[in-house]
Amino acid sequence: MNKFLAGLPNRKFFPYDTLEAQVAQPERWEPTPNDPNAVLDQLAAASIKKPDNSAPFHLTVPHGSKSSNPLTKIDLDTALQYGTAQGYPPLYSFLRQFTREHLQPNIPYKDGAEVILTVGNTDGLGKTLECLSNPWSEHHDWIGEREGLLVEAFAYMNAVQAAKPRGLSITPVKIDSEGLVADGPGGMEDVLANWDTSLGKRPHLLYTVTYVYIYA
């Protein structure tokens, strides 16, 4: 490898010539009806076997693509090569467009929502905590410098495990059938208004999988 260049391996040495897969067509599955009363009828109908006429789609990823557009160029020469920190361009482009047009079409940002590629939810949460908090150690840092994270009373363990190594204090907030409770004992207002400074700073981060509405 030439040390004076960008450090890109010669594509001729990549061990794969093509990648191929049989992809199931969406017609293979029957969607669950929105009417819960129709579920039993659907299960009864599903017990009768129907012929599956939807042949799988054969997908082939070539070694090299003739496309000059990096957002649509899908080949092994690109996928197996070192890329940008933003991620694989075709994947990033597709997810960004899908998010803007389907997941978050009404988000009030210029040019719509932005996306960041990660290797999973826990990895994404860990990177978010690194960006928005400072690490704290009980052995050499003042308690007043300790930052915290608010979580729902029943939170995913991965979220707690990602925050604890950074020394963040984990404080639960009461929830009900509609999500986080805004006021009352154990609610958001109560936790923040009566914050115990012996735990560190009042938290500025909230991890939630539900929505909370706080009216002034």
Domain shared by 103 and 145, yes or no: no
Question: Is 73 inside any structural domain?
Answer: yes
Domain shared by 146 and 203, yes or no: yes
What are the pLDDT digits (tens) for 137-150?
999 999 999 999 99
pLDDT at position 45 = 59
Is 80 exceeded by the pLDDT of residue 1? no
Domain around 177: 134-207
β-pairing, 205-207 with 148-152?
parallel
pLDDT category of residue 213 using cuts at 50, 70 and 90: very low
Question: Is 128 inside any structural domain?
Answer: no
Is 80 exceeded by the pLDDT of residue 42? no
Question: Is 107 inside any structural domain?
Answer: yes
Count: domains in the chain: 2
Question: Is 63 inside any structural domain?
Answer: yes
Q: Which of 117, 148, 164 is the last residue of a domain?
A: 117
This prediction's pTM: 0.65
Question: Is 212 inside any structural domain?
Answer: no
What value does the mean pLDDT take over residues 182-206? 93
Helices assigned H by DSSP within the chain: 39-46, 76-79, 89-98, 121-132, 157-163, 188-193
pLDDT category of residue 75 using cuts at 50, 70 and 90: very high
What are the pLDDT digits (tens) for 82-137?
888 888 899 999 999 999 988 888 888 887 888 889 888 889 999 999 999 999 99
Greatest alpha-carbon span in the chain: 68
Question: Is 214 inside any structural domain?
Answer: no
Domain shared by 195 and 142, yes or no: yes
Q: Which of 117, 152, 167 is the last residue of a domain?
A: 117
